[in-house]
Amino acid sequence: MSYNGTDNGYAVFTHVRIPRTALLSRYTSVSHTGIYTSSPMHEKLLYGGMLNGRNLIIRNCAFQLAQAVTIAVRYSVVRTQGQRSISGKEPVILSYKLQHYRLLTLVAKAYATIFASNAVNKTYKALLEQQAQGRHELLPYVHMLLAGLKAWTTQTAADGAEDARKACGGHGYLVISGLPEIVNSVTACCTFEGENFVLWKQVSRYLVKGLAASVLPEDMAYMGPYHYYGPTTCAYHGKEFLEPEKLVRVFEYRAARLSREVFEAMGREEGGRVRAEERHAVALLQAARAHIELYILLTFVSSIPPAPSSLRPILTNLLLLFALTTISSPLSASSSSFLEDSYFSLSQIQTMRDLTNEILEKLLCESVALTDAWAFTDASLSSAIGCWDGDVYKRIMEWTRQLPINVEASKNGGVIKQAWEESIRPFLREGELRVRSML
């Protein structure tokens, strides 16, 4: 799917002897008597290539989502449709609420995934430096982080790219829009280097193991207070929801509650760990997703430049849009996990939705600049509807005329001659003869 240049196959050898010295046995070995030996730590090192693969996939999908959104935003400021205004002009489709809501929330997610990718890449490099010195204490954390971010990023990119395609209507369906190829490419990422639902299990097992330990891992330390004080209600109101540090507390509470609740429920199960994991699989996935979304929010916060940077207000608004829609939007896949324990009142949810509308109005005029900031070239986007100059319709016609079938037709007065001679003309002639025979 999409990766047509990738060959997946196998080789079969018969009556071929492979010397043991040629068995790629850096970390494991097989003796001449057939005994397999390996140390547990060496077996973990075998995941090194896979971790690097997931790290690359996270970054690749972050920018593929950004490419899809760039195309959709550029198209949406050119395409006009709807009732003419007093000036006699049709409005551009980006001015419609649902259109800029969809696209700006995707812009926020794209920035969030890029910042998360930057952060996890630094952590992965730190692991490699440790391992070069024979130390591996970061390995469990990095394995969990890359598994969860790979699952979250690829699904977010796949869903987001498809929504960006749909936001471009019929023109987004054209191959020359560049969007179908992006959609297929990121969709494939949801399964290779680990199927996403399996990867969420890796995250949830890390969380369960951390909660069972005598001391919580550093990245799970925020779960400690919830263990002692139990469920509560959100104390924030009004403009307080525009303070990033308070939104971090909200994400921490949600992640801690979900992890603690499923951990305690598993502890009451009979039949062992495997049965408990299977019975609470959905709740474990939800807890894993909450932990990863907290990490993404934290990396977003840490990526915003300090004052007096001119980028600070814009990036802060993007952060707020990402956080508030994740919590309160009816379209969010995660909103139910914030609301199910009455942590928020209806009034607080409505406040967050009102604030979201205000942020959207502030960001609307920045839509093109926010996507131009990624500096994609026209060649990299390969899109007739997403080029920087916005000349959509002229380029669609130019690219269409370059298709081999149309080039050939132009040589024959606009007729596809071979198809006409071999299929259409005989069909029409046969029909004409049949009609004459009936008369």
Catalytic machinery residues: 193
Q: What is the crossing angle of helices 311-328 and 281-303, to 10°?
A: 170
Tokens representing 92 are 């551009």
Nearest 5°: phi and psi at 428? -65, -40
Q: Which residues contact 304 (CB under 8 A, 6 or more apart)?
A: 244, 311, 312, 315, 316, 319
Nearest 5°: phi and psi at 176? -70, -5
Looking up tokens 């939104």, which residue turns up? 247
User: What is the SS3 assignment for 387?
Assistant: coil
- Kind plus residue range of the DSSP H or E element containing 97: helix 97-132
- Residue 390: which of 70, 65, 63, 67 has the closest Cα? 70
User: What is the SS3 assignment for 38?
Assistant: strand
Distance CA 170, CA 379 (A): 22
Distance CA 284, CA 205 (A): 8
DSSP assignment of 257-315: HHHHHHHHHHHT-SS-HHHHHHHTHHHHHHHHHHHHHHHHHHHHHHHSPPTT-THHHHH
Q: Which residues contact 211 (CB under 8 A, 6 or more apart)?
A: 220, 223, 259, 260, 263
